[in-house]
Amino acid sequence: MPADAEALKRLVGEAAAELVENDMVVGLGTGSTANCLIDSLGERVRNGLRFIGIPTSKRSEERARALGITIEGFDRHDRIDLCIDGADEIARGSLHLVKGLGGALLREKIVAAASDRMVVVADESKLVDHLGTHAPVPVEISSFGWESTVRQLAQLGARPTPRRDRDGVLFVTDGGNMIVDCAFAPIEDPPTLEASIRAIVGVFECGLFISRAECALVAGPDGVVRIDRG
Ligand SMILES: O=C[C@H](O)[C@H](O)[C@H](O)COP(=O)(O)O
């Protein structure tokens, strides 16, 4: 079995692509693992699969379109049958997630919320006992008044860092907003923290995904394991 990270992502992308059936409406995630899923779906489309993709970012949309996947939007669809997306951390048991290191968390959460089922795909390095162990919680905020919003995030106990590119320019999301990466000590109560972050005026969404994933497909040296929410 492949052990390097890229091979594991391809493996889990292939496994997740098998969940898609003809005529489904499918939320397409963002990130390197979701890219492997999209590539595998492109292969299946070449072999005759028909489905509609609703992407969670401009880059996933471009990748999917280039592979011949049909892309539509919420103007055509009220509900999504299945959303498949990556994660930065997956809590064992609860399957609460941290997402958004790729900057797509707001669109990802909108798509997840509109989906009947969410399946998260990852390699085993993303499994943790407590969220916040390795990854900060990305928070998408308004660029107007961002300094005030950042101060309020710090009052929740975070060490907030506005995300910038290599040249020091503030990162801009697909929706034209900012991201603040909020490092917390391991998070004891993710649902309460999510509610507290979302209550701050100026915050659009945070990268904590609470009880949204029905199951995780996790790739390791022994293959892909399905973990259901406990
Ligand atoms: O904004 C990005 C997304 O939440 C990604 O799904 C997440 O960062 C995982 O990305 P990757 O599969 O590249 O580790």
For the stretch 126-145, pLDDT in tens is 999 999 999 999 999 999 99
104 CA to middle of ligand 1, Å?
8
pTM given for the model = 0.96
Average pLDDT of the segment spanning 28-44:
98
- CB of 136 within 6 A of ligand 1: the answer is no
The CATH 3.40.50.1360 domain(s) of the chain lie at 5-125+210-221
- CB of 34 within 6 A of ligand 1: the answer is yes
Reported confidence tier of residue 3, pLDDT bands at 50, 70, 90 = low
Read off the amino acid at residue 22.
N
145 CA to middle of ligand 1, Å?
27
Q: What fold characterizes domain 5-125+210-221?
A: Rossmann fold (3.40.50)
ipTM for the complex?
0.98
CATH superfamily of 137-206: ACT domain (3.30.70.260)
32 is in an annotated binding site: yes
